[in-house]
Amino acid sequence: MKFKSQFQADLFMAKQQKKQEKYRKDEQKKIETEFSLKLDPLAVKIIFAVLLLLSVILPYYYVSFAYMINGYNSFPLDDPWIHLTFAKNLAEYGSFSYFKNEVVTAGSTSPLYTLILAAGFFVTKNEMWLSYILGILFFALSVFYYFRLANDVFPKENWLAIGAALIFVLDKWINFISVTGMETTLFIFLLITCFYYYHRRNAVLFGVTLALTFWTRPDAVAFIAALAADYFILLYLKSNSPKANENVTLFSKNELIKIGAIAGGITAVYFIMNLMISGSIMPNTYSAKLSYYSAEFRSRSDFLKTEVWQYFTESAYLLIFIPFVFGVIKLIKDSVQRKYNRNLGALIFIALLIFIYWYKLPYAHRFGRYLMPIFPFYILLAVYGGREFFIWLGGVLKDSKTANALNIILLVSTLSYFGYGYYQNRLPYQDQTRHIYIRQVAAAKWLKDNTPEGTVVATHDVGAIAFYSQRKVIDVVGLINPEFIPKLNTKDFTAFVEEQLKKQNVTYLAFLREWFQVVNQPALFSAGDGNFEIVNIFKYEPGKTHILSNEVNSTILYASDLLRNRQYQQAKNILLKTAAMDPKSSLTFYLLAMACSSTNDAISTEKYLRKAIEIYPGYRDAIFSLTNVYKSQNKLEEARNTIAPYIEVQPNDSTMNKLYASVKGTNAVNQEVPKTK
């Protein structure tokens, strides 16, 4: 075709391009229309009822299974009893305190959850079922609003909304956390509800739920910032590409003022409450955890590798990771094309929450619970990404039915894998509830039964011990007692702890040895099994009780691992340095003796055992080992002199009596023990 001028040629080409673009859009719309499937409304209602029923049955099964195996109810974390202690005192004394009405402190990360628990104590005194019911209730409410949110995201494909909700309700960690007594499902419920009302542009309910997220957890700041960023992006795109975003609605000026007034007012009350209670606008837990788990002492790269990447790509999550990536690509593509995507806020929230923990607190806590609020948005974007991928694939194949079938296969496979993961996760739940019960709960009950009224207990796990012992506790890591926070992770921390123990009239210590280790005196009670996380209770005697520094305790624990792995020389080298750091630790010299014994160094073995006993004359393990060393060398007199003082103090120790009888040259076990001068 010939044109009279370049202008006519350009005009013709422009018209052709416009026609091609219109054809492409019509074809895309046709594919999307063919891809759309809607289930019958009655079927949707039935499935919705099933979803709500599952949100109750599935977490309850974890509780019933654990009870069937263990014979008691418990939590897989110690933290729930912190909320319960605050709530119980609030209900009984009208005080936000941690011991009766005496220790008033902003030690609750989630004051909203604490207030709800306090109200619950007026209905029931059973702390376990109160916590279980609230956790399950908020899970069910989360499912209710999640289905509504998913329907809003997939208005023409309610089967995809059902698929997303089913994945969410089958998630093993959401079910797990809903019956741990924690505020997590309340937080997730508020996040989902707030995002839904943001989508629906409901100013009042959006403002209320937005503020309540902050009342539930301080890391809601990531969610608030994400929605703020999303709205600013929307304003920018709306003003610069009005035609591409003509169907996107905004909040009116009056609605924005209303949101600011409601959310700002409710949040201001939160800050004022903390300020009045503790002199800080944030709770103690915020400062304590930032200090204890700061990035200076934890690896940010390890956090990303193990607590983020592996967590979100593990087993069933791997099936939704790839479609999640497609969802991210679609969001980026729309943004580049200056087209607003309503799911952008979810992606920003995921990125911001991970970033905040990476930067400030590279620690997701046990079971990754700090990152669990991401799950509903992760699942939603994965289902959305799968939809976009299969729409694209349908266009390539020119066969929307095949694309739909493949999407259904992916969803069914994912649901099957999630269901299997849920079922398998009942075992960790049962095991961890037992783990906490035979340690923290057992220690608390021992303290209640074996210590007088007025006892003050220093500990670092202040949940079950405070709740069940009914004793005043001093929290040496600052969640309840903020005076410890400035000294956390400093070299003089242990000295400061001992100073505070005297000042606050502490009479007993209850420590996990991985956190704080007391040497040179016997534990009055030990709770736990195996060699991991044993709670030891000690009588605290100022000037006599010796608490190892964090540095010394860490190196001793490392050396113990080396000994278990038969790396004896390396362990010995580390322990020699440790002995120089703290020459008053009998445990260090005992472990040195074990390292020397394993390398057949009899002289050094005897030397270090004698040193351990010199520091701590009642050291049973060292006395037992040294007696056997002398016995193997046929030095019976030295053996008798080593064990006799112990037998005099502990005449009912059958094992040591038998050893004493063997070195005395008689088979008699119950014999007269010579008096020592």
DSSP of 166-194, one letter per residue? HHHHH-HHHHHHHTTT-SHHHHHHHHHHH
In whole angstroms, give the CA distance from residue 426 to residue 213.
29
In the predicted model, what is the mean pLDDT of the chain? 89
Please give the structure tokens belonging to residue 658: 């038998």
**Assigned token pair, 336:** 């580049």
Over residues 233-254, the mean pLDDT reads 91
What pLDDT was estimated at residue 445? 97
pLDDT bin (cut points 50, 70, 90) of residue 35 is: low
Residue 667 pLDDT level (bands cut at 50, 70, 90): very low
Q: How many CB atoms lie within 10 A of CB 412?
A: 12
Decide: residue 279, CB within 10 A, 0-12 exposed, 13-18 middle, 19+ buried: exposed
pLDDT of amino acid 672 = 40
Of the ranges 45-49, 171-175, 298-302, 614-618, which one carries the lowest mean pLDDT score?
Answer: 298-302
Q: How do the domains of the chain map onto residue ranges?
A: 29-74+106-424, 442-547, 550-664
pLDDT by residue (tens digit) across 174-204?
999 999 999 999 999 999 999 999 999 999 9
Q: What is the pLDDT of residue 287?
A: 65
Among 390, 384, 391, smallest CA distance to 331 is for 384
Q: Is 511 helix (H, G, I), strand (E, B) or coil?
A: strand
Residue 569 structure tokens: 């020389």
Judged by average pLDDT, the poorest of 26-40, 381-395, 573-587 is 26-40
Query: What superfamily does domain 550-664 belong to in CATH?
Result: Tetratricopeptide repeat domain (1.25.40.10)
Which of 562, 168, 231, 572 shows the shortest CA–CA distance to 379? 168
When pLDDT is averaged across residues 307-331 and rounded to a whole number, the result is: 91
- φ/ψ (deg, to 5) at 441: -70, -40
SS3 annotation, 352-367:
HHHHHHHHHCCCCCHH
DSSP state of 463: S
The full DSSP string for 645-669 is: HHHHH-TT-HHHHHHHHHHHT---S
- 677 pLDDT band, cuts 50/70/90, is very low
Sorting pLDDT into bands at 50, 70 and 90, what band is 36? Answer: low
Q: 153 and 387 in contact (C-beta within 8 Å)?
A: no
Which tens digits make up the pLDDT trace of 256-278? Answer: 999 999 999 999 999 998 888 87
Please report which helix (H) or strand (E) contains residue 326, including its range: helix 317-336
pLDDT interval class at 670 (50, 70, 90): very low
Could you give the CA distance from residue 269 to residue 371 in angstroms, rounded to a whole number?
A: 27
What is the model's pLDDT at position 676? 34
Vertex 5, ends 4 and 7: CA angle to 5°? 135
Q: What is the pLDDT of residues 324-360, one digit of tens each?
A: 999 999 999 999 999 999 999 999 999 999 999 998 8
| pLDDT tens readout for residues 490-536 | 888 999 999 999 999 999 999 998 899 999 999 999 999 877 889 99
> What is the residue type of 432?
Q
Residues 64-84 pLDDT 10s = 999 999 999 999 999 999 999
pLDDT value of residue 671: 40
Question: What pLDDT is recorded for position 55?
Answer: 97
Q: What is the DSSP letter of 297?
A: T
pLDDT in tens, 447-475: 999 999 999 999 999 999 999 999 999 99
Lowest mean pLDDT among 17-31, 246-260, 291-305, 504-518: 17-31
Question: What does the pLDDT read at residue 10?
Answer: 59
- Predicted confidence band at 244 (pLDDT cuts at 50, 70, 90)? confident
Listed residue (535, 98, 124) closest to 283, CA to CA: 98
pLDDT for the residue 146: 98
CA distance 185 to 136: 8
pLDDT reading at 12 higher than 80:
no
Q: What is the pLDDT of residue 290?
A: 62
Residue 673 has pLDDT above 50, yes or no: no
* CA–CA gap between residue 179 and residue 422 (Å, rounded): 14
What pLDDT sits at residue 25?
A: 54
Cβ neighbours of 49 (radius 10 Å):
10
What pLDDT was estimated at residue 8? 60
Q: Which position has the higher pLDDT, 119 or 297?
A: 119
Residue 274: per-residue pLDDT: 83
**What would the two tokens of residue 559 be?**
């050396």
pLDDT at 16 (0 to 100): 60
CA dihedral 612, 616, 618, 619 (to 10 degrees): -40
Q: Please, which residues have CB within 8 angstroms of residue 140's CB and are 6 or more apart in sequence?
A: 52, 55, 56
Give, in order, the Cα–Cα distances in Å from 658 to each of 496, 522, 602, 637, 662.
44, 21, 24, 16, 6
For residues 397-414, average pLDDT: 87
Round to whole Å and give the CA distance between 370 and 350.
12
Q: How high is the pLDDT of residue 675?
A: 39
pLDDT score recorded for residue 353: 96
pLDDT (0 to 100) of residue 384? 96
Span 311-327, average pLDDT: 90
The one-letter code for the residue type at 52 is L
Distance CA 61, CA 132 (A): 11
Q: Cα(628)–Cα(86) distance, rounded to whole angstroms?
A: 52
- Do the Cβ atoms of 550 and 494 come closer than 8 Å? yes
Residue predicted with more confidence, 369 or 673? 369
Query: Looking at residue 483, what is its pLDDT?
Result: 87
Cβ atoms of residues 596 and 573 within 8 Å: no
Length reported for the chain: 677
List the beta bridge partners of residue 321. none
List C-alpha distances in Å: 101 to 86, 97, 98, 328. 10, 5, 7, 51
User: Is pLDDT at 3 greater than 80 in this prediction?
Assistant: no
Percent of the chain clearing pLDDT 90 (strictly above): 70
Sequence letter at residue 420: Y
- The predicted model gives 539-561 an average pLDDT of 92
Query: By three-state DSSP, how is residue 286 classified?
Result: helix
Question: What is the predicted pLDDT for the residue at 74?
Answer: 97
